[in-house]
Amino acid sequence: MKKKAVFLDRDGTLIVDKVYLNDPAQIEYLPGVFEALRLLRDAGYIFCLATNQSGVARGLVQLENLHKIHGIIAADFHGHGVEFAGFYYAPYPVESNHPMRKPNSGMLDAGAVDHGIDLSQSWMIGDRMSDVEAGTRAGAGTILLSGTESPEAFAWAPPDHVADGLLDAAKWIIARGPR
């Protein structure tokens, strides 16, 4: 039986966007993220992180530090009773249009294959319309976190929901029921 998942952007969704975070000591979680993922975990979802990291290609983020940052995030969520099935990142330049780079669906597609995920029963949550478009292209539901970008400014399909933070998004998914 295929699993349902929530794919999560990293910067601006789980942690404060420090713009090319390279120092693991600067990880700062956004309000409600641990509670949000516990609620979704209890509703039967597994989690994958899907993050564009063009800072690697630009030489602003060291790959070793990126792995350390993801290791710390995994450990911190584990300490709150939440496990991540996978961490996916696209270390490609913005202009590359690499299949793994959002708005393309490569990271979600890879997660679906790696973890037996039914994308039609899954969600992509992020603070940018490229997150929403990646979810749409993968066939997942989409939630845009308010405050960074407006759906009206893009020619892409709008999100299924606009939420005021991850906890609001989690509560909306649970109240909505199965996709």
Name the pTM for this structure.
0.97
Position 74 scores a pLDDT of 98
**Domain positions in the chain:** 49-85
Position 35 scores a pLDDT of 98
Task: List CB contacts of 98: < 8 A, sequence separation 6 or more.
Answer: 90, 92, 104, 106
Position 178 scores a pLDDT of 76
Residue-wise pLDDT for 107-123, tens only, equals 999 999 999 999 999 99
Task: List CB contacts of 78: < 8 A, sequence separation 6 or more.
Answer: none
Position 160 scores a pLDDT of 97
Position 123 scores a pLDDT of 98
Position 179 scores a pLDDT of 78
Position 1 scores a pLDDT of 86
In this structure, how many other beta carbons lie within 10 angstroms of the beta carbon of residue 98? 16
Structure-block tokens of residue 14:
């789980």
Cβ atoms 48, 110 nearer than 8 A? no
**Distance of alpha carbon 161 from its chain centroid, rounded?**
15
pLDDT string in tens for the chain (179-residue length): 899 999 999 999 999 999 999 999 999 999 999 999 999 999 999 999 999 999 999 999 999 999 999 999 999 999 999 999 999 999 999 999 999 999 999 999 999 999 999 999 999 999 999 999 999 999 999 999 999 999 999 999 999 999 999 999 999 999 997 77
Residue-wise pLDDT for 13-27, tens only, equals 999 999 999 999 999
| Catalytic machinery residues | 9, 11
| Measured distance CA(20)–CA(118) in Å, rounded | 31
Position 177 scores a pLDDT of 78
Structure-block tokens of residue 46:
């597994």
CA distances from 140 to 78, 80, 133, 136, 155 (A): 25, 26, 10, 6, 18
